[in-house]
Structure 1
Amino acid sequence: MHSHHSHSGDYVEHASGTLEQMVATAKEKGFVQYCLTEHMPRLQDKYLYPEEIDKGMTIDSLNERFEKYLKHAKEIQERENAGNTIKIIIGLEVEGIDEAHIKMVERYRPHVNMCVGSVHFVKGIPIDFDEQNWRKAREACGGSTRELYKEYYELQYKVLKMLKPEVVGHFDLIRLFRVNDLDETTGKMLSDVNIQNEWPDVWQLIERNVKFAISYGALFELNSAALRKGWDSPYPKSDICLLIKNLAGKFCLSDDSHKYEQIGLNYHKAWEYLKSTIKSDFVYHLDLDIQRKIVVQESDVNVLSKSPFWDQYKIL
């Protein structure tokens, strides 16, 4: 099994446990590939999270910690990949806050194998931290959820265009803290809005982003973290997943774990979603070839469904 997105308490304040624990647990659970993708540093103090401020973190200390991560990850990769149990891939998660942050990724590209292209801020305000900040971001977009979504997908497009990340991270993260109030543009409650039919301007941006990511060979992660956060599916929801499938996009799996107990969490539900809702015949994962270059591998869903990996979920 594979995962393309993870964090540890060694290098992220809102995670817990050590990077070594993460790798050991991935091996115990039967992962044959695991991507280490700590958050890249941020450029200004105003983008520090409360838990980072509480710990006295600064922009300089974020940079220092990330450099330590790159060194540690390299040591783990050299050690683990010498065996035949698990393949460790070194990556980072993009902070697509603005163009300056996106450009900053190029500094680290020579030191990683891959990156996860993500957007966590709109108008400089975090959109996946809590509902209060999500509302602040919406206010910064004129108080319109529709405009907030448009800003999010425009920023996502910049990440895709400028970096061509190997994995598109939690494509519709903007929906995580969406409140259910009235959409003035349709007269409907937000939960009843069909984006494709009723927000065609938003859907156009989504479709553009999907098509561009497909054009350069990106994988779209089915991110099981959404399930532990109260969703009934991984990111992205089925409307976007079916668009990706219909455009011949490729899906990969991610647990987006922030502690070792979350490794592989709800993977059986994500797998059922892939089989029954998306009805995909294949799933994909990143690998390293003999020259340590990133390549994409294809697996038959029916064959992988018979893997002993799934036995650990039968007791749930």
Structure 2
Amino acid sequence: MPHSHHSHSGQFCRHAKDNLEDVIVEAIRQGFEVFGLSEHAPRYRLEDLFPEEADLTPTDLLEAYHSFLAIASSLREKYSSRIHLLISLETDYITPLDSLNLASLLASTRGDAIDYIVGSVHHVRGISIDFDRNTWLRAVHLCSRRPPSQEEEEEEDGRTMDPGPPPKLELGDQSITCLREGYVPTEEELIPFLEKYFDSQFDLIKKHQPEVLGHIDLCLLWVPEISKKLQAMPSVWARVERNVRAVIEYGGLFEANAAAFRKGWETSYPSKDILQLILSLKGRICLSDDSHGVSYVGLNYLKLRDYLAGADVATIWYLVPTDQRVNGDEDVGNRRRVVARRMEAWNDHPFWKKLEIAQEAKT
């Protein structure tokens, strides 16, 4: 019955495809029995929208998420005899404003419909790190600039979009060598960026205790080879270990996210060294396809299985509503909406054979 704790649909996410119900039906067809619906949290500033959202406002995003909660709740009831659907929210942790509004949403009556949080960081110093490589370079460059002296004011954060009008993607100064297409940052330039990423992630972890920590090393999206060098960067590796220990302390799960394979990685998120760190500290691994439409449901899950089995992951975990708790389930976080349930011999489950057949039929 392997599971996915992270998914999107084109109905509520402009960079995804297909209606939410079609995604659910495909998950059922492939044999998923637990499937998390985790549309993005609203963003609250025009400069945090993306080019495909240029006709929208932050209010539109908030209303879309409210609509998602209502429709997802209805679909959960409709398909309850065929699949266990969990309703979630993936964080977009950009500025303190996002944290404040996330806390308000979770504390509201609408927050009662949210079973768990996928805690993700997609921005560093206000700039998206996974929209495209050039935008990521701007974040790296901003972090690598000389820190201000005590007499100087703190440099302002950047932004993903120029709000206009009309809104358009911020391009940065192309006369700067390290912002040009194809530039490869040095390790020295990357270290401040990585430090800032993991510090932002730690802030998210401490303030909100996400039940699932999303793609822990998304910061390496464009430089996956650096994953093999993190332990040689003491200031970065110390932050990674700090964050892992913090999640373990409250019982959170670390998603093994199959989307990294379609981004060209040889591994999922987390990469090998971080995965081994999590396992050595007795962290709990869960599965996610991070699907963005029907064609992405279960995509590269067989590669994910092989990667985790090759890393000797003996147990995976999945989330279950608290009112379905049984002996052996473990607490997760401080919201107490879900508990974690273990699954042994997970890679021998009949699901995998059914998935192979379903994916062959799809092609």
The secondary structure found in structure 2 opposite 1:38 is coil
Aligned partners of 1:236, 1:280: CA distance in 2, in Å? 13
Query: Is the partner of 1:283 in helix, strand or coil?
Result: strand
Q: Report the alpha carbon displacement of residue 312 of structure 1 after superposing the two structures with TM.
A: 3.4
Q: How many residue pairs were aligned? A: 299
Q: Provide the secondary structure at the position in 1 that maps to 2:39.
A: strand
Q: Which residue number in structure 1 is paired with residue 330 of structure 2?
A: none
Partner of 1:16: 17
For 1:246 and 1:191, the matched residues in 2 are separated by 21
Whether the aligned pair in 1 keeps the contact of 2:256 and 2:285 (CA below 8 Å) is yes
Asked if 1:140 corresponds to 2:142, the answer is yes
Deviations 1:195-230 (A, max 9, x none): 11x200000000000000000011000000000111
Larger radius of gyration: 2
Counterpart-to-counterpart distance in 2, 1:268 and 1:10 = 27
The alpha-carbon deviation at position 78 of structure 1 amounts to 2.1
Go from structure 1 to structure 2 and tell me whether the alpha carbon gap of 1:308 and 1:291 turns closer, same or farther (over 3 Å shift). Answer: closer
Following superposition of structure 1 onto structure 2, how do residues 164-179 of structure 1 map, counting pairs within 5 Å? 164-178=209-223
1:206 corresponds, among 231, 240, 249, to 240
Query: For 1:146-176, what per-residue CA distance to the aligned partner results, in whole angstroms no more than 9, with x for missing partners?
Result: 1000000000001100000000000000000
The 5 A counterparts of 1:279-290 are: 279-290=312-323
1:254 aligns with 2:300: no
Give the Cα separation in 1 of the matches to 2:73 and 2:317.
24
Superimposed CA distance per residue, residues 13-65 of structure 1 (whole angstroms, 9 cap, x where no aligned partner): 00010000011111111000000000011110000001111xx1111111111
Deviation of 1:289 after TM superposition, in Å, equals 3.8
Please report how far the alpha carbon of residue 103 of structure 1 lies from its aligned counterpart in structure 2 after TM superposition: 2.4
1:116/1:165 contact within 8 Å kept: yes
Query: TM-score, structure 1 length as denominator?
Result: 0.91
Alignment gaps of 5+ in structure 1: 180-189
Is the Cα contact below 8 Å between 1:131 and 1:178 reproduced in 2? Answer: no
Aligned counterpart, 2:83: 86
Q: Distance in 2 between matches of 1:192 and 1:104?
A: 33
Match for residue 309 of structure 1 among 338, 343, 352: 352
More moved, 94-103 vs 128-137: 94-103
Asked whether the 8 Å contact 1:103–1:162 carries over to 2, the reply is: no
Would the alpha carbon gap of residues 73 and 220 (structure 1) be closer, same or farther in structure 2, given more than 3 Å must change? same
Single out whichever of 95-104 and 115-124 deviates more from structure 2.
Answer: 95-104
The match for 1:107 is 104
Unpaired segments ≥5 residues, structure 2: 146-188, 326-336
Match of 1:72 in 2: 71
Displacement of 1:106: 2.0
Could you tell me which of 333, 338, 342 is aligned with 1:298? Answer: 342
Mean alpha-carbon deviation: is it higher for 287-296 or for 16-25?
287-296
Percent identical pairs in the alignment equals 36
Following superposition, the deviation at residue 304 of structure 1 comes to 4.3
CA displacement 1:57-113 (0-9 Å, x = unmatched)? 1111111111111111111122222x2x21000000001112221222123322300
- Please tell me whether residue 272 in structure 1 is matched to residue 302 in structure 2: no
Post-superposition offset of 1:308 = 4.0
